[in-house]
Structure 1
Amino acid sequence: MATSKLHVAMFPWLAFGHFIPYLHLSNKLAERGVKVSFLLPKGALTKLQQLNHHPKLIHFFPLVIPHVDGLPPGAETASDVPFSLHQLLASALDKTRDQVETILTSLKPDIVFFDFGRWIPEITRQLGTKSFYYSVINACTLSFFRVPARRITVETTMEELIQPPPGYPSNTVKIKHNETPHIAGLNDPRLGAFLHERLTTGLRECDAIALRSCQEIEGAYSDYLAQQYSKPVLLTGPVLPETPATQLEEKWDKWLNKFEPGSVVYCAFGSQITLQKEQFQELMLGFELSGCPFLVALTPPHGCSTIEEALPEGFKERIGERGWVHGGWVPQTLILKHPSIGCFVSHCGFGSMWESLVSDCQIVLIPFLLDQVMGTRLMVEELKVAIEVERGEDGMIGKKALSKAIQLVMDNESELGNSVKNNHINLKNIFSSKDWQDKKIDSFVQDVQFILESPGA
């Protein structure tokens, strides 16, 4: 089947952390002539249109997200509700089934890529098409928590939960006993059981699993998933978007140019992480204590409407021009490419993980969510390209711990700092090659076509 005749549909979970990776994959497929129909909430459309690089091949199909009791009026995405209400948002997703089925019946795509919509395989079987579970989180998290070798229910104890399933391919990429109270969502048995049932159903019922990863870093985990689910596991590679052709806005460029190459610490935790004020202030004091110039881009902490009102007393006066704390969106890809940036303090979300790997920066990690913790262990323990900031017994990231981690990787005399830097350079040389990334997508498309053309497809 020629790629120009291939037609796929995308139906990601109702979160921008899922919409955007699905759209990045859509752009890569459209580059190769694939037609893409993208289903998403009506309200998310305007925010994503600018990321559609192939509007003649990628078409959006807006969905009306029905109201569910307990959700705020008009809630459409995970950005509109706290983490504790995501289960209700999933109920709203389920209520779109009739709309989705009507659209897919009309379009008849060859494949539907999905994640939370566990009923998609039932629809595609009726239509005589294929369903691919496309995961935007790392394979090590799926392998640890979302496989048939383990069963998670509301009765599952924390001790049972943090034990790896039989055959899991790592002794180091896992949850530590002392951190379980501090990982968002891990202590909610109802949510844990709900996610396990929903996601393993989709993985079990789909025709193939697709992962935003590669053999070089997660080969053992993708092989384990293939064995667990007895079906093909296809790897797309990192699916990184092209670096914007635009220049970094003058205000950022002018400020960063004040500092020596490789001297500035950049910190961002994505749009999902909102800190408590006490933790936010402790981090600010840690950046101050490090002695390095820094650019921090975080959402205002809980209870604060602006970043300025959340800063520690006297902080701005002490820091002066050495630090910039910003409470809104920043052009992260362009900032990471600026020669003055020498260190990236990240939450290890999967997108940021890949962006850090193809950057020239040293990498310091502070994970908050389950997949971020697993990704951090992958980066620190297996790839050995980053260091993790140690939490205190109360789960807090202390100013001294953050400052120590930054100084460790920024010190040219540090043995550990030089070790992770050299390991990082070796991987960066592979991953930042456009030829390498293109080959991964080309191989993925070939694997997709092979499945479609196989007898009985």
Structure 2
Amino acid sequence: MSRSSPPPHILAVPYPAQGHVIPLMELSLCLANHGFRVTFVNTEFNHKRVVNALAEKKFIGDQIHLVWIPDGLQPWEDRNELGKLSEAILEVMPGKLEELINKLQDDKITCVIADESMGWALEVADRLKIRRVAFWPAAAAMLALKLCVPKLIDDGIIENDGTIIKKQMIQLSPTMPSMNTVNFPWACFDELTTQKTLFYYMQRNNRTTKLANWVICNSAIELEPPAFTTLAPEIIPIGPLLASSRLGSTAGYFWPQDSTCLKWLDQQLPQSVIYVAFGSFTVLEQTQFQELALGLELSNRPFLWVVRPDAVNDQANDSYPQEGYLDRIGTRGQLVGWAPQQKVLSHPSIACFLSHCGWNSTLEGLSNGVPFLSWPYFADQFFNESYVCDVWKEGLKFNRNESGIITQVEIKDKVEQVLGDYRFKARALQMKEMVMRSVTEGGNSHMNFNNFIKWMKA
């Protein structure tokens, strides 16, 4: 690229969910630090949330321009109905994205980076003769699972429409953790129509991924070698993006962060606080929420708990937590609506992370050397739990009772086990060191990212 050439102009298109927007924004910030300009395309619904959450922050700067296109749903419709959302996306967003790109002719787009789950955007870019990158924000093993669908059908594990033939444990390769078929990402919905819609959407994305010049992944080869070397050698690991010194801070959150909890953390002893956060999607039933509240109280340890406004099913009928709870825990517990998670996990007072094991949260815990208590809720989180507890051995799983509830006593016991055994902390620190080696000079992810930058600038 000559000195007189304008900087490359990237169009970034995330899937409209919190766990997808944040890592693509992290990648966009990395690219901005290398002189690229980025037009970041959210849905209208999520654009408003992101801008509202940014409020007075200025760190996106001049290099990242936030824009939106409609997702095809009405304002009052539920974006958590993923089958309906997927159908609307395919019907409306490709045409709207093409209109946007055409409007930017005077400020030409040089490359489209699309979440692999928005593969239709690669079709639009291909039609307009623009370079194309597919970005996978989750574990490489999950993309490998998607790409293995034809074999799953041939082996009689699933039907042609994605229906699970029987509940069983499978391994994609002898060196990978087992997967329960009922936890396949498209099979986590009770309604069969939704399962089939998402399976069709996923299969379509598998085909469009072949249009990509690069397929990059927010992971590191050291974290999941079999997935990269055996199943998905064409997927290039460039992460964890957040662990790299390329980033000072990030954006893309759907809720304003409550930073007052950082002052509370400053007042706690080193490695004393249980951090509890379940991401943007988890919803707990009333009974389970109360057991968690009582389990944290029973632990007799300080805790910071992120409780979203929509975190409990049927909030209208009860107060959450129960009346008198906040008086009993006093200053030992801190509840916030949304926390600056990367700053929280890097705080010296944090002892462990009670997490849903979404991939972003998993990487954030890993990158800060924090042991886990694993509480998966949905889709890939069950497999991520296997990585955390069975492969990396830096955390513990909870057991449920005959009613499917994780009891307060089970919570207290597992907190005591993970904090009472220094081997979990030692292992977490080893994993942190391994991750940091990968993203610093000479590391695998660092070299891959630099090669990617050279290609983008060529």
Q: TM-score, normalised by structure 1?
A: 0.82
Quick check: 1:114 aligned with 2:115? yes
Tell me, what secondary structure is at the counterpart of 1:185?
A: coil
| Residue 175 (structure 1) aligns with | 180
Match of 2:314 among 266, 287, 303: 303
Tell me, what secondary structure is at the counterpart of 1:132?
A: strand
Rounded Cα–Cα distance in structure 1 between residues aligned with 2:170 and 2:439: 39
What are the superposed Cα offsets for residues 275-310 of structure 1, whole Å, 9 maximum, x if unpaired?
Answer: 11111111112112222222211224111159x812
| Residue 319 (structure 1) aligns with | 329
| Residue 26 (structure 1) aligns with | 28
Quick check: 1:444 aligned with 2:445? no
Tell me, what secondary structure is at the counterpart of 1:377?
A: helix
What are the superposed Cα offsets for residues 228-269 of structure 1, whole Å, 9 maximum, x if unpaired?
Answer: xxxx3221211114258xxx9884345334532211211011
Say whether the 8 Å CA contact 2:71–2:85 is kept in structure 1: no
Q: Counterparts of 1:116-131 in structure 2 under 5 Å?
A: 116-131=117-132
Tell me, what secondary structure is at the counterpart of 2:42?
A: strand
% identical equivalent positions = 24
Q: 1:254 to 1:160 in 2, by over 3 A?
A: closer
| Residue 157 (structure 1) aligns with | 164
Tell me, what secondary structure is at the counterpart of 1:9?
A: strand
Q: 1:120 to 1:249 in 2, by over 3 A?
A: closer
| Residue 370 (structure 2) aligns with | 361
What are the superposed Cα offsets for residues 117-166 of structure 1, whole Å, 9 maximum, x if unpaired?
Answer: 3323332222223322211111122223443433454463353675334x
| Residue 8 (structure 1) aligns with | 10
Say whether the 8 Å CA contact 2:162–2:196 is kept in structure 1: no
What are the superposed Cα offsets for residues 351-383 of structure 1, whole Å, 9 maximum, x if unpaired?
Answer: 111111122432211111121111111111111
| Residue 198 (structure 1) aligns with | 204
Rounded Cα–Cα distance in structure 1 between residues aligned with 2:189 and 2:345: 30
Could you tell me how far 1:19 is from its partner in structure 2?
A: 1.7
Q: 1:53 to 1:316 in 2, by over 3 A?
A: closer
Could you tell me how far 1:391 is from its partner in structure 2?
A: 2.6
Rounded Cα–Cα distance in structure 2 between residues aligned with 1:302 and 1:451: 46
The letter for the 2-side match of 1:190 is K
The letter for the 1-side match of 2:79 is V
Q: 1:191 to 1:379 in 2, by over 3 A?
A: farther
| Residue 423 (structure 1) aligns with | 427
Q: 1:38 to 1:320 in 2, by over 3 A?
A: closer
Tell me, what secondary structure is at the counterpart of 2:152?
A: coil
The letter for the 1-side match of 2:135 is Y
Rounded Cα–Cα distance in structure 2 between residues aligned with 1:401 and 1:204: 46
Tell me, what secondary structure is at the counterpart of 1:242?
A: coil
Unmatched segments (≥5 aa) in structure 1: 412-416
Q: 1:190 to 1:419 in 2, by over 3 A?
A: same
Match of 1:81 among 79, 82, 88: 79
Aligned length: 425
Say whether the 8 Å CA contact 1:23–1:52 is kept in structure 2: no
Unmatched segments (≥5 aa) in structure 2: 251-256
The letter for the 1-side match of 2:280 is S
The letter for the 2-side match of 1:211 is C
Rounded Cα–Cα distance in structure 2 between residues aligned with 1:288 and 1:141: 36
Could you tell me how far 1:225 is from its partner in structure 2?
A: 4.1
Rounded Cα–Cα distance in structure 1 between residues aligned with 2:259 and 2:117: 41
Q: TM-score, normalised by structure 2?
A: 0.81
| Residue 101 (structure 2) aligns with | 104
The letter for the 1-side match of 2:97 is V
Rounded Cα–Cα distance in structure 1 between residues aligned with 2:325 and 2:118: 46
Q: 1:205 to 1:254 in 2, by over 3 A?
A: closer
| Residue 216 (structure 2) aligns with | 210
Say whether the 8 Å CA contact 1:186–1:192 is kept in structure 2: no
Tell me, what secondary structure is at the counterpart of 1:261?
A: coil
Q: 1:172 to 1:16 in 2, by over 3 A?
A: closer
**Which of 1 and 2 has higher RCO (CA within 8 Å, sep 6+)?**
2
Could you tell me how far 1:64 is from its partner in structure 2?
A: 2.7
Say whether the 8 Å CA contact 1:185–1:191 is kept in structure 2: no
Rounded Cα–Cα distance in structure 2 between residues aligned with 1:224 and 1:297: 38
| Residue 253 (structure 2) aligns with | none
What are the superposed Cα offsets for residues 89-137 of structure 1, whole Å, 9 maximum, x if unpaired?
Answer: 1122221211211233433423433323332333222222332221111
Rounded Cα–Cα distance in structure 2 between residues aligned with 1:363 and 1:249: 23
Rounded Cα–Cα distance in structure 2 between residues aligned with 1:180 and 1:212: 20
Say whether the 8 Å CA contact 1:185–1:192 is kept in structure 2: no
Say whether the 8 Å CA contact 2:278–2:355 is kept in structure 1: yes
Q: 1:253 to 1:14 in 2, by over 3 A?
A: closer
Say whether the 8 Å CA contact 1:38–1:59 is kept in structure 2: yes
Could you tell me how far 1:28 is from its partner in structure 2?
A: 0.1
Could you tell me how far 1:16 is from its partner in structure 2?
A: 2.5
What are the superposed Cα offsets for residues 320-350 of structure 1, whole Å, 9 maximum, x if unpaired?
Answer: 3322333x11222222233322111111111
